Structure 1
């Protein structure tokens, strides 16, 4: 037998010159083996780079996770204090704005805190009118050393008052009027029948809502009925379900009720203010 090589291939022939098989290329085998050995190092390098990248991402996200945890704790404590102070059935929604919160907390001043509370109940003469929703924006919020109060450099708020709650307070069926800034009231007459009147709503001093300039829009109102309405509307409704320092600026009518807008500076909130008439 003799072996003849053509390029990288070699063939074996018997003594009569007949080829009987394909020879084995040792050089190619060695080349493949070398390539497999060399490919292990790039794979290890890529794996190391992937682990390093994952570690860097984790380190980058760690401050965000810590900051979110601090914000969540502040939001939870604020919600609890507000619920205690306003006697709401559920804690309000609280959001601490700005990043990072950690540095704000360390400085003792939070740049902005938003609070949305629902169903603030009435309490006799001290808080005669329930508030369906109170939305607060507190800027520059700080707290006292003993946690007895929190103070905002400035604040804005909107208190939503439902028509059923306003109706219960006035003793009349109140709904949206035909024009902006006016409400409609149904008056049941002593001897039967009813009259519909409209009156304007406005903000007056002392965080009160006044009802003025009523006019008859349906039915006939006797003199006795006019005297009753005069007594009903002569005393504005006070709004005391809000923190100290907020001042009523305007009242607008909506399809569902009245929206009372407040602004103020150096606004104070005390968790134990529910027992005070000047809350």
Structure 2
């Protein structure tokens, strides 16, 4: 009697298992790629629609500015779009101009960050309805050229030194020209930036009452309140400080529509 033995087919089974694992990995990579692409498409859609809404709101407030640049923060984007809730939306507005008592005030750049924004998918699709932010914070800079244009003082120069606003301008006393220098305290009052100069000096100035009166008049002339144009999204001025580029302002608002 002859006994026949058959070898176990272990090698083909291993190959089949390896192929299944590779196929699964490929499918996972494809699905991940599709999710990433879909996420980016959702973000682009939200950014485009919110930018359109913001542009309409800015135009309604008669503010002159270049088209806003909008970017949606947080990840993933797709779930934010579907839920209508966004962690953070950044809005960059450039060349923001406003008319203040007949004078033009320019903010070369206004950076706005809206937190916890509610914008339903239906609102974005139809372009109607409110886009509401829990908080909105804005930072911008008023260039010194705009500030000096508001002050009637020939030859006035404004700049920043060690974090303080300083000013210099030529004055004439007894037929001689001197340069007066002074520093200012900055503060915010309502919609105004207050410039209060003090400690003005002029090297070589004669120690006579007339000379001191000229310096005092200079201080009064350049100590002014600067009206800031109406800021978008109902933002209220909170702080001002001197920087090399100009007067940097900080503003904020709570529970405000950034589009309506």
| Aligned: 1:131 with 2:111 | no
Q: Who is 1:75 aligned against? A: 47
Residue in 2 that maps onto 1:64: 36
| 1:156 to 2:137 alignment | yes
Distance 2:118 2:14 in 1: 56
Q: Distance in 2 between matches of 1:269 and 1:150?
A: 6
What's the CA shift for 1:161? Answer: 2.5
Tell me how far apart the structure 2 counterparts of residues 124 and 264 of structure 1 sit (CA, whole Å). Answer: 22
C-alpha change, 1:44 and 1:260, in structure 2 (3 Å) is same
Give the number of the structure with larger relative contact order, counting CA–CA contacts within 8 Å between residues 6 or more apart: 2
Distance 1:108 1:125, change over 3 A: farther
Farther-moved stretch of structure 1 (196-205 vs 119-128): 119-128
**1:125 and 1:147, CA in 2 relative to 1: closer, same or farther beyond 3 A?**
farther
In the alignment of these two chains, the number of paired residues is 231
Does structure 1 conserve the Cα–Cα contact (< 8 Å) formed by 2:71 and 2:90?
yes
**Equivalent residue runs for 1:1-279 within 5 Å:** 46-47=18-19, 49-83=21-55, 85=58, 86-92=63-69, 94-125=70-101, 128-143=104-119, 147=128, 150-170=131-151, 172-178=156-162, 180=163, 182-189=164-171, 192-206=177-191, 208-219=192-203, 220=205, 223-224=213-214, 226-227=216-217, 229-234=219-224, 236-240=225-229, 242-270=231-259
> Residue 265 and residue 90 in structure 1: after superposition, are their counterparts in 2 closer, same or farther (change >3 A)?
closer
- Other-structure match for 1:25: none
Structure 2 unpaired stretches of 5+: 1-9, 206-210
Larger Rg: 1
Cα distance in 2 for partners of 1:82, 1:44 equals 57
Deviation at 1:174, TM superposition (A): 0.7
Distance 1:169 1:176 in 2: 18
